[in-house]
A = this chain, B = another copy of it.
């Protein structure tokens, strides 16, 4: 009944209402996407009257932005985990390449396994991902976009990406992966067989590597 385990309420004051509202908002976004994060429902889950939210968030949109930042942070951490999962590779060139691939893989998996959070992170206008507010970042302090940039930098250093192709390369890589992610869970190809989908993801990452 009370999934996060906090007792219903201590007294007149809540204790940490901001956190409770944010958690409720994240849960709503997780299953239902951005439109599902509705202020009154969040307060209901926190066991509090609707207007109490306004002591912590200026508007429904402010809450939504906070949820979005949390979603981006989760994605960043998924990327960091995928990067860490690589075994140490022989050549530095290969290491750099698998780094980029890990970023893309984590992105696509996140879109698959957390469609609601994914849409909340990217289908809602707001502060651009390129800005570095720590709320959007993972443990490394980098947000998803910055993690991608770093991966590309390492490719240049390792000599597997010509320096003259480096500028703005994150936009190309991001575009391709993001487009497929949208395609995957939003529409068409929803009922494409799993194996075929994975193969398509690999081909896309190949295309990026080859075409960058």
Contacts and interface: CB of A to CB of B under 8 A. Distances in A.
Interface of A: 122-123, 125-126, 128-130, 145, 168, 171-172, 174-180, 182-183, 186-190, 196, 200, 203-204, 206-212
Given A129-B188, A130-B188, A210-B211, A175 B176 contact: yes
9 contacts: A125-B187, A126-B187, A128-B190, A130-B188, A171-B183, A171-B189, A175-B178, A175-B204, A178-B183
Given A128-B188, A176-B179, 14 more contacts: A122-B186, A123-B123, A125-B187, A129-B187, A130-B188, A171-B189, A171-B204, A175-B176, A175-B177, A175-B183, A179-B179, A207-B211, A207-B212, A208-B211
A135 to B, nearest CB: 16
